[in-house]
A and B are shown apart, each in its own frame.
Chain A
Amino acid sequence: MKQPWRELVLPLSADTIAGLKAGDKLMLSGTIYAARDAAHKRFIEALDRGERLPVDLGDSLIYYMGPTPTRPGDVIGSCGPTTSARMDKYTPRLIVEGLRLMMGKGNRSPEVVAAIREYGAVYLVTLGGAGALLSARVKSAEILAYPELEAEAVLKMEIERFPVIVAIDGQGNDLFKTGPEQYRKA
């Protein structure tokens, strides 16, 4: 039988985050922030200069995503996840600075998994390659920072019942390891 999808509203409490388990299926609603490669580079440069970031890491979910252009009258274009591993170089630092929730596709480096476990963060994945379907779950989107980065600008987005799967939980359980192990044939 299909496991149900659990409805959650952002921001998540520390207890809720701590209770998430790899393999959980969630329908998330609330505010999230989209930032990908070039924005992450700028985040780290800003932190190095001692500046504040355009997003409050402690309360935020960062979604690795760069959408297609918005048609006039539309909310957003296609908006599926990009490959999270490209952010691995920057992620441990952001976790140290307070980031607890991130979302993308694909597995993470051992360094990121270690930081996730040490600080009790959670890595979520959503439907890679299904950007049109996901766009229907976005109620609003606006550029928050770095507009000159175009497809890589930081966006503030309101989502409603956005389907996500917990891939790496705060104990370091990693669905990218346990899932394939379950179905692997020698």
Chain B
Amino acid sequence: MREIQTSVIAQTVARLAEEANYELGSDIQVALGRAKDAEKSPLGREILDSFAENAHRAPELRRPLCQDTGVAVVFLDIGQDVHFTGGDLEAAVVEGVRSGYQKGFLRKSMVAEPFTGRKNTGDNTPPVIHYRLVPGHQVKISLMAKGSGAENMSRLFMLKPADSRDGVIDAAVTTVEEAGGKACPPVIVGIGIGGTAEASMLQAKRSLLRKVGQPSAEAETAALEQEILSRVNRLGIGPLGLGGTVTAMAVHIESLPCHIASLPVAVNLQCHSARHREVLL
């Protein structure tokens, strides 16, 4: 049994929140460069240049990459041989988000009541937390700063098994088309297939933690990712939705077994400012 102080969790979450919001990951920076090489629209190329420049300027200006510093979505993969000491684990994650968003001058976007007063909680809490118990004695913490421009375009399709592979493709393409410029393309398309309604949605979100453009380890899934990417890029939506040949930089699919009567397909879009960080404790 390994002991981890919950204060370490709080400090780590705070650091991840700041880093994710100020420094664009090298994988997404490389993907933006590739997008520029592939983009046929002159305006689209200028826009992609400005995204690269934004990534470069944000740390030196000490201003976040995007004004929407998002909901803090925290994924905790907890080794079953870990014992947390020094207080409540969930409170520590919340405290990490509170202090990271405060110290980092990050925007506080959370409101307490979704359909009544919508009063801002003032510290960007609560985060959305997903726990998973795994073998071993380590803890992996991933933090995603998920902006609502892209998140609002999420879709869940409860397809019929007869809809099959083509149904999955149509679901993904329809979602990207309806999102248009609202999701700040070029996007990364996260897709969860199978499980139940909520399980497919969570898989779609988890797929966005993958390095941008890293294909699925499973050959058939990787082929489907490529086919959807090519279909999506034929839509012509382009950077910011103003027209172009690069609408998505990557498609990530995570699938799960499901019921004989079901084929859930969840699509979760990630804007070009794909901000997340992870650490292994």
The chain A residues found within 8 Å of chain B, CB to CB, are 2-3, 23, 25, 38, 65-71, 74, 77-80, 82-83, 85, 105-107, 125, 127-133, 135-136, 150-151, 163, 165, 167, 175-176, 178-186
- Cα A38 to Cα B245 with chains together (Å): 35
- Cα A165 to Cα B44 with chains together (Å): 12
Interface of B is mostly: loop
Residues of A within 8 A of B273 (CB): 129
**In the complex, what's the smallest C-beta–C-beta distance from A107 to chain B, in angstroms?**
5
- Cα A85 to Cα B178 with chains together (Å): 12
Whether the pair B238, A68 counts as a contact (CB closer than 8 A) is no
Whether the pair B51, A38 counts as a contact (CB closer than 8 A) is no
Question: Per a CB cutoff under 8 Å, which of B120, B152, B241 touches A180?
Answer: B241
Question: Per a CB cutoff under 8 Å, which of A25, A70, A127 touches B240?
Answer: A127
Whether the pair B236, A83 counts as a contact (CB closer than 8 A) is no
Residues of A within 8 A of B54 (CB): 127, 129-133
Q: Which 8 pairs across A and B sit closest by C-beta, in order of nearness? A: A179-B243, A184-B236, A183-B236, A106-B182, A132-B58, A130-B54, A180-B236, A131-B67
Chain B interface bracket (under 10, 10 to 19, 20 to 34, 35 or more): 35 or more
Whether the pair B41, A165 counts as a contact (CB closer than 8 A) is no
Segment 198-257 of B: residues with Cβ below 8 Å from A: 234-238, 240-245
Q: Tell me whether A105 and B243 are in contact in the complex, defined as CB-CB below 8 angstroms, given that A125-B181, A151-B108, A163-B50 are known contacts.
A: no
Q: B33 near A: Cβ within 8 Å?
A: no
Q: B69 near A: Cβ within 8 Å?
A: yes
Whether the pair B240, A65 counts as a contact (CB closer than 8 A) is no
Q: Mark B143-181, 1 if CB is under 8 A from A, else 0.
A: 000011100100000000000000000000000000011
Q: B62 near A: Cβ within 8 Å?
A: yes
- Given A129-B65, A150-B108, 19 more pairs with CB closer than 8 A: A25-B43, A67-B107, A78-B67, A78-B107, A107-B182, A128-B149, A129-B272, A130-B54, A131-B65, A131-B67, A133-B50, A133-B57, A136-B57, A151-B109, A179-B238, A180-B237, A182-B41, A183-B40, A185-B234
**In the complex, what's the smallest C-beta–C-beta distance from B153 to chain A, in angstroms?**
9
Whether the pair B236, A182 counts as a contact (CB closer than 8 A) is yes
Q: Tell me whether A80 and B245 are in contact in the complex, defined as CB-CB below 8 angstroms, given that A129-B272, A132-B58 are known contacts.
A: no
Residues of A within 8 A of B240 (CB): 105, 125, 127-128
Question: Per a CB cutoff under 8 Å, which of B57, B148, B182, B236 touches A132?
Answer: B57
Whether the pair B69, A68 counts as a contact (CB closer than 8 A) is yes
Can you sample 12 A-B contacts with CB below 8 Å? A71-B62, A74-B62, A83-B149, A83-B152, A106-B180, A106-B181, A129-B54, A129-B149, A136-B57, A150-B120, A179-B241, A184-B236
- Cα A80 to Cα B122 with chains together (Å): 21
Residues of A within 8 A of B181 (CB): 105-107, 125, 128, 176
Residues of B within 8 A of A151 (CB): 107-109, 120
- Cα A79 to Cα B61 with chains together (Å): 13
The chain B residues found within 8 Å of chain A, CB to CB, are 40-43, 46-47, 50-51, 53-54, 57-58, 61-69, 105-109, 118, 120, 122, 147-149, 152, 180-182, 184, 234-238, 240-245, 271-273
Residues of A within 8 A of B245 (CB): 183
Whether the pair B235, A80 counts as a contact (CB closer than 8 A) is no
**In the complex, what's the smallest C-beta–C-beta distance from B277 to chain A, in angstroms?**
17
Whether the pair A184, B235 counts as a contact (CB closer than 8 A) is yes
Residues of B within 8 A of A127 (CB): 47, 50-51, 54, 240
Residues of B within 8 A of A3 (CB): 42
Whether the pair B241, A176 counts as a contact (CB closer than 8 A) is yes
Whether the pair B242, A176 counts as a contact (CB closer than 8 A) is yes
Residues of A within 8 A of B152 (CB): 83
Residues of B within 8 A of A132 (CB): 54, 57-58, 61, 63-66
